[in-house]
Amino acid sequence: MSENNENQSGFDTICLHGGYTPDTEQTYGIGQGAPRGVPIYRTTPFVFRDTDHAAKLFSLQELGNIYTRLMNPTTHVLESRYAQLEGGHPLSGLAVASGTSAVFYSIINLARKGDNIVSSGALYGGTYTQFNNILPDMGIEVRFVDAEDPLSFAAAADDKTRAFFCESCSNPALQICDLEAISASAHEIGIPLIVDSTFSTPYLCRPFDFGADIVVSSLTKWVSGHGTVLGGIIVDKGTFNWGGGNHPMYDEADDSYGGLRWGHDLPEALAPLAYKLRALTVPLRNLGACISPDNSWAVMQGIETLSLRMERHCENSLKVAEHLYNHSKVAWVRYPGLSTDPQYGKAQKYLKGKGGAMVVFGIRTADPTSAGKQFIDSLKLFSHVANVGDARSLAIHPATTTHSQMNSDAQIAAGVMPEMVRLSIGIETCDDIIADLDQALARVGTEEVYAPPKQVQKEEIKKFEQVQEEEKEKKLVDPNELWA
Ligand code: PLP
């Protein structure tokens, strides 16, 4: 396969062609005639030319295929295509088994025992647990801050801080981060900003355009788009100076890779790939959460229609949010594309003026948990699943599912209100989506009302912000309390 990284500036063109040009000079089967679709290379190892070739590949003197846990030609097309969509260095993408492993590897590739990172507290539940429990057990402290205040990141940092981390649009609070401000303060102290852009996808937001240095994303969601595959990716913009003295893992000889100093010893052409090459040869090679070539292929099928789907997701989501906003049984709605939403201004800047594909809301009732249950159990078109980003519409109650490992204080700090219903709006006919929501809402009991519908939006948001403010000072979670 040959690459066609040149002359490709259009996003949609990259979605279809990035990283792969059929090679008509090659022989396939009975002769020439190159595959138009990206071939799936279902092989574990790759055959070396000779022992010199093998040695060169292992010492990074030459780039090439060794073993599918590390690299694979099908996965390489995905990595190249996705890195181009993000506007990163075309060779700096590293696909892995899931978004979860992408987040994990992105951190342990720059921080180790004794180090810390500063992260927004508004995170996907799995990432929160990884940061709040698993990384600290490994000796990496995570300091949670309120990303609504971009200055809080620098205030929490010290000389052991190796990165700032946030979600471009958080799951499920739909908080949009001020990437420009957060990356500027990261750079002031010589560290990178890592952004999980799962909820925005490169179609709505390219964090590198706003100063971010590393993007991680779950490919499981809108990027693949059909709820049929798991994958994740890390992309380095390729411009951060890893040998600048703030990352000992890049200044010191790395025993796990032949004593190489990643920030200093790579040949000039490979220097911009220091972070990616370390992620490939240290965490991925030795911890092994690789993506399969079949999954890489399936993700690429989704990417081909990313723009079309995201447009429809956003269009439907806005209609749903507007409908719910005016619904008598809805207490509050959060959707960054609604002009009444506190994140609306940032959506204009960071989401191309759109609102994304998620809508969250609270049912107007005295008993939000049972009303939420009744609502979700009544849905017919929506699927009740622990996923987002499917072409089909999905619903869940985060407080009792995706974010249930957090105690209630931590949930509220992360923007997970007890009554919150999370909707991932699909690309079905919008009237059908709305009709399903209406019939489910009609089944929810009406007798007790806890807030007047017309002002609730503002009142709920104020309440939410007040609680967040109070929680800021507290230690966020003791997950053991949950199981006590
Ligand atoms: N990041 C965000 C923002 C998510 O919402 C999720 C999953 O929902 C993940 C990462 C983890 O992705 P995966 O399910 O591919 O491991």
pLDDT tens readout for residues 396-430: 998 888 888 888 888 887 788 888 999 999 999 99
Q: How many helices (H) and strands (E) does the chain have?
A: 20, 12
Minimal-distance CA residue to ligand 1 atom 13: 99
CB atoms within 10 A of CB 420: 23
Q: E strand or H helix at 369, and its extent? A: helix 368-378
Helices 306-325 and 430-442 sit at what angle, rounded to 10 degrees? 40
Q: Residues 9-60: pLDDT tens digits?
A: 799 999 999 999 999 999 999 999 999 999 999 999 999 999 999 999 998 8
For the Cβ of 230 lying below 6 angstroms from any atom of ligand 1, the answer is yes
pLDDT truncated to tens, each residue of the chain (484 aa)? Answer: 555 444 557 999 999 999 999 999 999 999 999 999 999 999 999 999 999 999 999 988 899 999 999 999 999 999 999 999 999 999 999 999 999 999 999 999 999 999 999 999 999 999 999 999 999 999 999 999 999 999 999 999 999 999 999 999 999 999 999 999 999 999 999 999 999 999 999 999 999 999 999 999 999 999 999 999 999 999 999 999 999 999 999 999 999 888 999 999 999 999 999 999 999 999 999 999 999 999 999 999 999 999 999 999 999 999 999 999 999 999 999 999 999 999 999 999 999 999 999 999 999 888 877 888 889 999 999 999 999 999 999 999 988 888 888 888 888 877 888 889 999 999 999 999 999 999 999 999 754 434 434 344 555 556 555 654 554 444 333 333 333 2
Which residue, by CA, sits nearest to atom 14 of ligand 1? 99
* Residue 122 Cα to ligand 1 middle (Å): 13
Ligand 1 pocket, residue 166 CB under 6 Å: no
pLDDT confidence of residue 448 = 41
Q: Which residue puts its alpha carbon closest to atom 5 of ligand 1?
A: 124
Angle (CA) 313 316 320, round 5°? 130
Q: What's the CA angle centered on 456, arms 455 and 462, to 5 degrees?
A: 100
Q: Is 217 in the pocket of ligand 1 (CB under 6 A)?
A: no
Whether 237 and 208 have beta carbons less than 8 Å apart is answered as yes
Q: Which two tokens stand for residue 143?
A: 């300091």
Q: Is 168 in the pocket of ligand 1 (CB under 6 A)?
A: no
Q: Give pLDDT, residue 5.
A: 47
Q: Does any ligand 1 atom lie closer than 6 A to the CB of residue 100?
A: yes
Taking CA atoms, 265 is separated from 107, 243, 250, 436, in Å, by 22, 10, 10, 59
Ligand 1 contacts CB of residue 222 (under 6 A): no
Q: What are the structural domain ranges in the chain?
A: 11-302, 307-483
Q: Could you check whether the bond before residue 172 is cis, i.e. omega within 30 degrees of 0? A: yes
**Residue 198 Cα, ligand 1 centroid: separation in angstroms?**
7
- Ligand 1 atom showing the smallest separation from residue 220 Cα: 15
| CATH for 307-483, options being 3.40.50.1860, 3.90.1150.10, 3.60.70.12, 3.90.110.10 | 3.90.1150.10
CA of 385 to the centre of ligand 1 (A): 14
Q: Is the CB of 471 under 6 A from ligand 1?
A: no
Task: Name every residue whose Cβ is closer than 8 Å to that of residue 431 and which is 6 or more positions away in sequence.
Answer: none
Q: Helices marked H in 9-146 — which ranges?
A: 11-17, 51-58, 73-86, 99-108, 125-129, 135-137
State whether the beta carbon of 126 lies less than 6 angstroms from ligand 1.
yes
Indicate whether residue 167 lines ligand 1 (CB < 6 A).
yes
Q: What angle do CA 308, 312, 313 make, to 5 degrees?
A: 110
Comparing C-alpha atoms, which of 364, 367, 366 is closest to residue 452?
Answer: 364
Query: Side chain identity at 5, as an amino acid letter?
Result: N
Residues 6 or more apart from 17 whose CB is under 8 A from it?
A: 4, 8
CA distance 438 to 329: 10
**Which pLDDT score is estimated for 463?**
59
Longest dimension (CA), the chain: 78
Q: 195 in ligand 1 pocket by Cβ < 6 Å?
A: no
How far, in Å, is the centroid of ligand 1 from the Cα of 182?
22
Coil, strand or helix at 161: strand
What is the position in ligand 1's atom list of the atom closest to the CA of 387?
Answer: 8
For residue 76, the CA-to-ligand 1 centroid distance in Å is 22
Instruction: Tell me the CA end-to-end span of the chain in Å, nearest whole number.
Output: 56
**Residue 198 CB less than 6 A away from ligand 1:** yes
Q: How far does the centroid of ligand 1 lie from the alpha carbon of residue 204, in Å? A: 17
Distance 35 CA to ligand 1 centre (A): 33
Best CA proximity match to 145, nearest among 473, 477, 479, 478: 473
- Ligand 1 atom with the shortest distance to the CA of 101: 16
Pocket test for ligand 1, best of 119, 128, 198 (most atoms within 8 A of CB): 198
The hierarchical CATH code for the domain 11-302 is 3.40.640.10
**Roughly what angle, to the nearest 10 degrees, separates helices 368-378 and 430-442?**
130
Angstrom distances, CA of residue 146 to CA of 118, 150, 154, 230, 471: 10, 8, 12, 30, 9
Structural contact between residues 142 and 135, judged by C-beta atoms closer than 8 angstroms: yes
Per-position b or e across 449-482, b if 16+ CB within 10 A of its CB: eebebeebbeebbeebeeebeebbeeebbeeeee
Ligand 1 atom closest to 221 (CA): 15
